[in-house]
Amino acid sequence: MVEENISPSLVVFDLDGTLVDTLPAIVPAVNQLRARIHLAPLEPEAIQAAMGAPLDIFIERVINMQRGSSMPYQSKETRFCQLAKRLYGPCYLLSLEMHATNYEGVREVLNQLVCQGIHVAILTNKSHELAVVTVETMGLSCFFPEALIIGSDSLSVSKPDPQTLETIMDIFGVTPSDEVWMVGDSDVDLMVAEAAGVTGIACSYGYGNAGSSFDAQATIDSPEHLLDLLTSPLDGSAIE
């Protein structure tokens, strides 16, 4: 637990449920995909529960779910899952611009961090292609050029493997320390922070379960509250 005020040199963000509210776009995209392969639509809660995993696993989860249940009812073969993955991309892109939004204050927070000389990057379990398009569509490319977006297929491993976060630190020439922050709404984000030896910040406003199984150095309930941490000790308490 970091009890003194330590300003970060690098802040790495998750994407879905942390910077961008994409669930309103993902739900219709998934159900459009399921309709194309002759499956009934799923409830938003079931789709949300499937999020956070690499795209291959996410697609496998949402095409193996029975309506009204979060439990798989049949395991589709790999070839079928790969086809579903290819079909999902266009469904998501069609829905993205109409339904996804940045969380309130995200642009202001990012601008403030950059103005203070703090590096920013994205580490997500979304595929790199869909992550880049999401960032572009949401108008965040000025903060996150393509090279600073690491997706589930950017490397041979994905979150929570520490190599993902270490790759970003290598880009900026920084070493693991409390001055590197990993910010996300899932315990996967806190797991990768712990494994890489950096500070984990949980977002209580997202889709995930950040803080349910792994301790965070701080918890924020809105993007703007991240700025409060720049001047407050990281004592594990929630910033409201």
Q: Which residues are catalytic?
A: 14
Is the Cβ–Cβ distance between 116 and 5 less than 8 Å? Answer: no
User: Cα–Cα–Cα angle for 162, 225, 223, nearest 5°?
Assistant: 65
User: Which residues pair with residue 201 across a beta bridge?
Assistant: 183, 218
- The two tokens of residue 228 are 């409060």
Decide: 156 and 130 in contact? Cβ < 8 Å.
no
Handedness of CA 107, 159, 210, 217 (dihedral sign): negative
In angstroms, the CA 197 to CA 208 distance is 21
